[in-house]
Amino acid sequence: MNVREPDWAYVARSLAKVLAVTVALLLALSAIDRVLWLFIDFDDERTALVYGTAARVANPDKRLSHGHSDGGRVLGTTYTLWGEPRRAGPSEGGTEYEIVENLFGAVRAPSLDGPSGSLGEAIAYVDVDPGVDRERAEKVRKTIDGLPQTLDAVAVVEFAHSMTTERLVSFNRRHRICGGADVSYIYSPSFYDDSSDPASFNAVVWNRGMTQERSRPALSYQCETEPEVALAEFRRWVGLLDEGDDFSEFELDYGWLAGAAEEGVVHGLVVDRWKLADLRELLDDPEVRTVHLADVAFDLGEIG
């Protein structure tokens, strides 16, 4: 039986036509994308509110401040956050982190998949109701006592037992903790179980200013009672989410966030640029299991 040789010239022409049509379609979609945004109000505000805030929740190792959107496109929306690593020392300069939501609602944010470094490790130590451990607290106390008490620190304060808002307000009053940008609340510790799907979730770490960029009524509060306002704002944000929102890139999901908001208890604090002397004082409180130091540095502004 004779087997005919393929007509390679015909095959090449066919492939060229397919490629030409594909390129033409992409160019057409791109052109439509650039034009339609002038006439259609794409919901880039929601992208910023939902996914920009989720990035801050899942990445407490970074100071993620203001962001900006490309205005929304047919093919997707890009929201860019400006941030820097959360270190105790002077700023080393920031960088941009992109969050891209495509036409189908899938989200990519390759640089915002969760906390890393020493602060990430400190957050990972926090557990649910781990109990009192005076030996561990004493070990940290000796470490802090061996350092200059005026050093600035980034640290995690781990509670022996979960704190309700009322107990946390009392704790704040005892220690004159005012909250603000340098105090974040761990509403849910991180989770890992390789037999489950998904196998892991990031800790839910909330700061009262997480949604500060978005338009909303001003938050008023008394100094030590900030946990009440922080929890109310966290619940308000979770109430804006949908079960279909794609948080997988941040190792979060709707149920994980909703459960933490409903329970409303705090397992620890992430504190930013506190003095070692103030952290040392907390170790004497039976509510505190231990303090995990992530970074320390001199405040050069206080020298000289």
Mean pLDDT estimate for the chain: 86
Higher per-residue confidence, 264 vs 213: 264
Dihedral, 186, 178, 51, 189 alpha carbons, nearest 10: 0
Higher per-residue confidence, 301 vs 140: 140
| Total-model pTM | 0.83
What's the rounded mean pLDDT across residues 218-227? Answer: 74
CB 162 within 8 A of CB 267: yes
Residue 6: pLDDT band (50, 70, 90) is low
Q: Decide if pLDDT at 71 tops 70.
A: no
CB 205 within 8 A of CB 186: yes
pLDDT in tens, 150-191: 999 999 999 999 999 999 999 999 999 988 889 999 999 999
Residue 75: pLDDT band (50, 70, 90) is low
Q: In the block, which residue shows the tokens 């470094």?
A: 117
Q: What single string gives the DSSP state of each residue in 28-69?
A: HHHHHHHHHTTTS---HHHHIIIIIHHHHHH-TTEEEEEEEE
Q: What is the pLDDT of residue 214?
A: 46
Q: What is the pLDDT of residue 13?
A: 76
* Range with lowest mean pLDDT among 2-6, 171-175, 252-256: 2-6
Q: Decide if pLDDT at 28 tops 90.
A: no
* Range with lowest mean pLDDT among 63-72, 140-149, 170-179, 255-264: 63-72
